[in-house]
Amino acid sequence: MNELKINGIYKHFKGDYYLVVDVAKNSETEEKYVVYRSLYGNGDLWIRPIDMFLSEVDHEKYPKIKQKYRFELQNIKSNQD
């Protein structure tokens, strides 16, 4: 199963990278949303339902994509480690 890590850097299956900032709840429905920031362009802040963020890529719609999940946590090491 895919995991969610606050302050983790994730790769979207289309190639761009995002920083997960936090999880927020909709005040009306209490549905949980991932709050994440793009690590390109002007650093827009986005939200997406947590289930969708952690879901698998639709390989019927995107048959050439090798990545299993829509967003995958990246293991990025510090240069100081």
Predicted pLDDT at 24: 98
pLDDT by residue (tens digit) across 7-34?
Answer: 999 999 999 999 999 999 999 999 999 9
**Sequence ranges of the domains in the chain:** 9-73
Predicted pLDDT at 76: 84
| Rounded Cα distance, 47 and 28, in Å | 16
First to last CA, the chain: 28
pTM (predicted TM-score): 0.88
CATH entry 3.30.1330.10 includes domain 9-73 = no
> Scanning the structure block, which residue is given the tokens 């927020």?
24
How far is Cα of residue 58 from the mean position of the Cα atoms in its chain? 15
Predicted pLDDT at 77: 82
pLDDT by residue (tens digit) across 28-62?
Answer: 999 999 999 999 999 999 999 999 999 999 999 99
Both structure tokens of 39: 């690590």
44 forms bridges with which residues in the sheet? Answer: none
